A = this chain, B = another copy of it.
Amino acid sequence: MTEPRITIIDVARAASVHPSTVSRVLNRRAELSLLPETRQRVITAARRLGYRPSALARSLRLQRTFTLGMLVPNIDNPFFPPIIKGVEDTAHARGYNLVLCNTEDSSEREDAYLRVLRERQVDGILIASSFMADATIAELRRDRFPFVLVNRGTRGSDDLAVLVDNEKGVAAALDHLVDLGHRRIGIVAGPQTTMTGRQRLTAARVTLRARAVKLDPALVSVAEAFSQEAGYRAARRLLVGVEPPTAVFGANDLLAIGVLRAAREAGLECPADLSLVGFNDMPLTEFFGPPLTTVHVPQREMGVRAADLLIAQIEGKPAATRRVTMDVHLVVRGSTAALSRSQQKTA
């Protein structure tokens, strides 16, 4: 059925040398001690036979796979692809492959994938899955398994992590709204089971207090996921109140889009009737109707830094920093506008 695999032994035979010699030639380590002629014989024999090394056998022998695993909550969320690209580019450049796993925010899948990755002996893991239990991560830590957290932290430990400056971003977003004259500001928060969700909500509270703007508890709606649909549902609860907000901050862009949809359904125009700010600046938000004002996060760069951190750890290099915080800044586009007279009247 299948052609028998061509191994190092076949090459050796063809070149009339010992298999170990073939191995030496093909792994051009220190060019030390190899007759140029022998080397040539081996190389041509290998090419002629169409020899293909077995990464499996090599990994088994070396106990190294040159593979990284990455756990992502949802590849459908446009926030992640640029991060993944950053990781992959860096990995590729440094001789590593990437195995990508979609957890769908299901702890069952998270565990399954984590197990698979370890059984496959990937050299390290990137965890962007924000729901994953700290306990699961603690296990990796205990086993000294190399890993890096992306866009999430763990309580009270100094795991390697690449984080976003949520405080700064949220402050910029809300300062912007307050500066535009808004006082009744609604918050569509992310799931409070995630660190990002909690941090951004807390930061929002802090910022508004600092600006002496009262945050009406009725104007805080927590979404059960970082998705457009969840944002829509959360926003509906927000907009039907007797005294609706004149502006809303969505804890990420997908939530903001959900808000937009709910607003339209309620007959509200954005930004005329409702100003809207998101977070992440995911691709294409500038083409939305209206273009989304949002907090820019350097997604690709996050991936690059995360991969760098992980590979450094794998290769035993001294880690200069255990924690990288990405800088962010507000990008003002069309979805926010100064508080209008009509809005004031309504309120």
Contacts and interface: CB of A to CB of B under 8 A. Distances in A.
A52 B288 contact: no
* This chain: copies in complex: 2
A19 interface: no
A84 interface: yes
Interface string A34-57: 000000000000000000111111
A75 B65 contact: no
A118 to B, nearest CB: 6
18 contacts: A3-B144, A5-B63, A55-B121, A56-B56, A56-B120, A56-B121, A75-B81, A76-B81, A78-B284, A97-B101, A98-B99, A100-B100, A257-B287, A260-B287, A284-B288, A288-B288, A288-B289, A289-B290
Interface of A: 2-3, 5, 52-57, 59-60, 63, 65, 75-76, 78, 81-82, 84-85, 88, 92, 97-102, 109, 112, 115-116, 118-121, 143-144, 228, 257, 260-261, 283-284, 287-291
Given A3-B143, A5-B63, A289-B289, 12 more contacts: A53-B119, A56-B60, A76-B81, A76-B82, A85-B102, A88-B101, A97-B120, A99-B99, A260-B287, A261-B287, A288-B288, A289-B290
